[in-house]
Chains A and B, each alone.
Chain A
Amino acid sequence: MACFLVSAAAAVGVTAAKYIVRHNEKKNELVVKEPKEYKFGSEVKWSKKLAYLELMLWAGSFVLAGEHILHGEVTPFPPYLTKAGEGPEGVREMLTEMGTVGVIMLVSLVAVWGIGVLLVDYIKYRKHKKAENKVLSAEAK
Chain B
Amino acid sequence: MYFIVSVVCTAIAAVLWFFFRERKSLHLDFLTIIFGAASVMWLIDVIFTAAEGNNPFEIEPIDGWISLWTILGGIFFWLLLSFIVNNKAKSVEAK
Contacts and interface: CB of A to CB of B under 8 A. Distances in A.
B28 interface: no
Contacts of B6: 63
A17 B47 CA distance: 31
B33 A52 contact: yes
Contacts of A71: 62, 66
Interface string A65-108: 01100110000000000000000000000000000110011001
Interface in B1-58: 2, 6, 30, 33-34, 36-38, 40-45, 48
Nearest to A7: B41
Does more than half of chain B's interface fall in helix, strand or loop, or is it mixed? Answer: helix
Given A62-B77, A63-B74, A56 B33 contact: yes
Contact of A62 (B33, B36, B44, B73): B73
Interface residues of B, number: 24
Nearest to B76: A62
A21 interface: no
A59 B38 contact: yes
Contacts of A20: none
Interface in A101-139: 101, 104-105, 108-109, 112
A48 to B, nearest CB: 12
A20 to B, nearest CB: 19
Nearest to B78: A59
B62 A109 contact: no
A50 interface: no
Nearest to B43: A108
Contact of B40 (A4, A58, A100, A105): A105
B41 A100 contact: no
A16 interface: no
Contacts of B69: 63, 66-67, 70
A57 interface: yes
